[in-house]
Amino acid sequence: MTESQRRYPGSVDEPLAAGRFSAWLDDMRAAIRGEREADVPCAGCTACCQASQFIHVEPDETDALDHIPAELLFPAPRLPAGHKVLGYDEHGRCPMLVDGGCSIYEHRPRACRTYDCRIFAATGIEVEEAQPEVAARARRWVFTFETKEDTALYDALRAAARHVVERDGSSLTANGLAVRALSFEPDRDSEATPAPRADRTPPRTRR
Ligand code: SF4
Ligand code: SF4
């Protein structure tokens, strides 16, 4: 029996390999810091593009802004002028999702480049009920734990996630909470901090 099976007994029928936990954590934290993009093995899944999410587009994202029709962008609530959100249609789909793929993939917003649904499997934070397809996908990821460091990092992240949910649970999306848990430092984060950049939605924007 592998360590990953021991830690997630019977959790899913069709597991997806999420990779080694510590490596994923390093990469995801780098994505949150803006140093890289998320590299999710989506394998044709577009669940998060159809999950009734407002996509936050920041003023400096000129390439994305140039490729999204202006009529699809709206001022982001509670943020300074220039911050925009890309909405969704009556089916919850991003309007840039065309024929099962992102029509502006090379120009997609930063929020899309840093989104990784493995963050829910890692933190244990529940995806919103309004996003059942994302939740189903998130439940399938299974990390591997090759050393005690992997296990210790996992336990620390779970503890941070519990703290962040208790402190900020009413003010952030599930993704925002999970991103904040990855950035959590007990000595520094004793008070609530602004919403993390890698969240897809502006602070406190909920559907
Ligand atoms: S829900 Fe997860 S696997 Fe599906 S497209 Fe989004 S990031 Fe990829
Ligand atoms: S811009 Fe592209 S990647 Fe982002 S939500 Fe829309 S379709 Fe998905």
Residue pLDDT, tens place only, 49-88: 999 999 999 999 999 999 999 999 999 998 999 999 999 9
pLDDT band at 206 (very low <50, low <70, confident <90, very high): very low
Location of structure tokens 């065309």: 98
Q: What is d(CA 133, CA 4) in angstroms, rounded to the nearest whole number?
A: 23
**Nearest CA owner, ligand 2 atom 1:** 108
pLDDT in tens, 151-175: 999 999 999 999 999 999 888 999 9
For residue 184, which of 49, 32, 48 has the smallest C-alpha distance?
A: 32
pLDDT band at 204 (very low <50, low <70, confident <90, very high): very low
Instruction: Provide the 10 A C-beta neighbour count for residue 193.
Output: 14
What is the torsional sign of CA 167, 169, 175, 176?
Answer: negative
Q: What is d(CA 172, CA 27) in angstroms, rounded to the nearest whole number?
A: 23
**Nearest CA owner, ligand 2 atom 8:** 49
Q: Which residues line ligand 2 (CB under 6 A)?
A: 49, 55, 94, 96-97, 102, 104, 108-109, 112
Spatial CB neighbours of 166, under 8 Å, sequence gap ≥ 6: none
Which ligand lies nearest the alpha carbon of 94? 2
Which ligand lies nearest the alpha carbon of 97? 2
Q: Tell me, what amino acid is at 128? A: E
**Nearest CA owner, ligand 1 atom 4:** 45
Length of the chain: 207
Location of structure tokens 């649904």: 117
Query: Does the CB atom of residue 136 touch ligand 1 within 6 A?
Result: no
Q: Whole-prediction pTM value?
A: 0.87
Which ligand lies nearest the alpha carbon of 113? 2
Three-class SS state of 16: strand
Spatial CB neighbours of 63, under 8 Å, sequence gap ≥ 6: 107
pLDDT in tens, 8-23: 444 566 899 999 999 9
Three-class SS state of 200: coil
Asked if pLDDT for residue 198 goes beyond 70, the answer is: no
Spatial CB neighbours of 147, under 8 Å, sequence gap ≥ 6: 22
Q: What is d(CA 51, CA 128) in angstroms, rounded to the nearest whole number?
A: 10
Side-chain-side CA neighbours of 34 within 13 Å: the count stands at: 6
Q: Over the Cα atoms of the chain, what is R_g?
A: 17
Structural contact between residues 143 and 108, judged by C-beta atoms closer than 8 angstroms? no
- Describe the crossing of helices 174-183 and 148-168 by its angle, rounded to 10 degrees: 130
